[in-house]
């Protein structure tokens, strides 16, 4: 439905244990040229060649197959047999996974997780939402879906988001937040050193700023603000903070750590933005 409203192509890939990388990207087959009688290779495109790709239950397939999406998500292209094949624009991947059932699943590698801009937690619906779901799915209701924008207009909107101004203080807030999530950083607070095995990388800083710009554009604001960064921090960072056994033992979630990081960095930026972080972010106990 989302693809139809945006006038985009859509493909769904059901990730299963026996899925192979070629089942996603495509493969080369030998085909006879009828005019010359010679045999030649022909590339058959896989389901990744669409504007919107849904990777359903992505953690049901082994890491080898999961990694088939790495190049596609970063470079918007796939390489098969030494040839590069560009993907249609705009291109983005949606993925689902069951956070509760772990039997028969394969945790996503950190490099794969880092390719996703956001991790959105879908909890139980409230009563009104559940009522609407049941009403729609237990009756014969076929409402026509009409495109509201074209692919060209959508790409123009994406360019517009990147052109939203962001002051250096906003970018500094985002990068400071990310850098302090890394336990090996000399300025990382004590609770990060205690509970985090691996912190967020540079992509997190990029996505924090882009997310803040997108939120500002949706709200009709003339520029991105620090408040916008705060509002997108949890979905941007929660899958990038890899917690350790101490966090598991103490039942500390990545969202809890992000909340504490936001408090610390906000304290600094409420005062002197250019001041040394070590004077403000004092290590605290768990």
Supply the pLDDT for residue 129: 94
Supply the pLDDT for residue 208: 97
81 phi-psi bin (left φ>0, alpha ψ -120 to 50, beta other): left
Supply the pLDDT for residue 279: 34
Is the bond preceding 90 in cis, omega lying within 30 degrees of 0?
yes
Supply the pLDDT for residue 282: 38
**Structural domains for the chain:** 2-123 (3.40.50.300), 162-279 (1.10.8.80)
What span, in angstroms and rounded, lies between the C-alpha atoms of 128 and 219? 25
Per-residue pLDDT of the chain (286 residues; tens, 9 = 90+): 889 888 899 999 999 999 999 999 998 888 877 777 788 888 889 999 999 999 999 999 988 888 888 889 999 999 888 889 999 999 999 999 877 767 778 888 888 899 999 999 988 999 999 999 999 888 877 778 888 888 889 999 999 999 999 999 999 999 999 999 999 999 999 999 999 999 999 999 999 999 999 999 999 999 999 999 999 999 999 999 999 999 999 999 999 999 999 999 998 887 444 333 333 333 334 3
Supply the pLDDT for residue 43: 86
Supply the pLDDT for residue 110: 86
Supply the pLDDT for residue 205: 97
Supply the pLDDT for residue 272: 43
Supply the pLDDT for residue 281: 38
Supply the pLDDT for residue 136: 86
What span, in angstroms and rounded, lies between the C-alpha atoms of 202 and 205? 5
Q: What is the pTM of this model?
A: 0.84
Under a CB-based contact definition with an 8 Å cutoff, are residues 212 and 224 in contact?
yes
Q: How far is CA 2 from CA 146, 148, 151, in A?
A: 10, 10, 12
By C-alpha distance, which of 93, 75, 117 is closest to 204? 117
């Amino acid at each position: 439905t989302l693809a139809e409203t945006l006038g985009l192509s859509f493909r769904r890939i059901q990730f299963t244990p026996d899925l192979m990388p070629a089942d996603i990207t495509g493969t080369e087959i030998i085909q006879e040229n009828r005019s010359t009688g010679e045999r030649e290779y022909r590339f058959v495109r896989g389901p990744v060649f669409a504007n919107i790709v849904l990777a359903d239950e992505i953690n049901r397939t082994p890491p080898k197959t999961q990694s088939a999406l790495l190049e596609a998500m970063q470079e918007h292209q796939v390489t098969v047999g030494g040839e590069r094949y560009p993907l249609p624009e705009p291109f983005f991947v949606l993925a689902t996974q069951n956070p509760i059932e772990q039997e028969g699943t394969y945790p996503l590698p950190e490099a794969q997780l880092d390719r996703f801009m956001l991790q959105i937690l879908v909890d139980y619906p409230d009563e009104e939402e559940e009522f609407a779901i049941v009403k729609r799915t237990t009756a014969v209701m076929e409402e026509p879906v009409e495109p509201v924008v074209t692919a060209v207009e959508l790409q123009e909107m994406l360019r517009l988001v990147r052109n939203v101004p962001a002051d250096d203080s906003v970018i500094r807030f985002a990068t400071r937040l990310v850098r302090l999530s890394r336990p090996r950083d000399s300025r990382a607070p004590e609770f990060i050193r205690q509970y985090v095995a691996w912190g967020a990388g540079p992509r997190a800083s990029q996505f924090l700023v882009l997310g803040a710009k997108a939120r500002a554009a949706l709200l009709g604001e003339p520029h991105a603000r620090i408040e916008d960064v705060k509002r997108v921090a949890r979905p941007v960072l929660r899958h990038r903070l890899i917690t350790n056994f101490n966090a598991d033992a103490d039942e500390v979630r990545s969202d809890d750590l992000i909340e504490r990081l936001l408090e610390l960095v906000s304290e600094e930026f409420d005062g002197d933005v250019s001041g040394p972080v070590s004077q403000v972010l004092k290590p605290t106990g768990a």
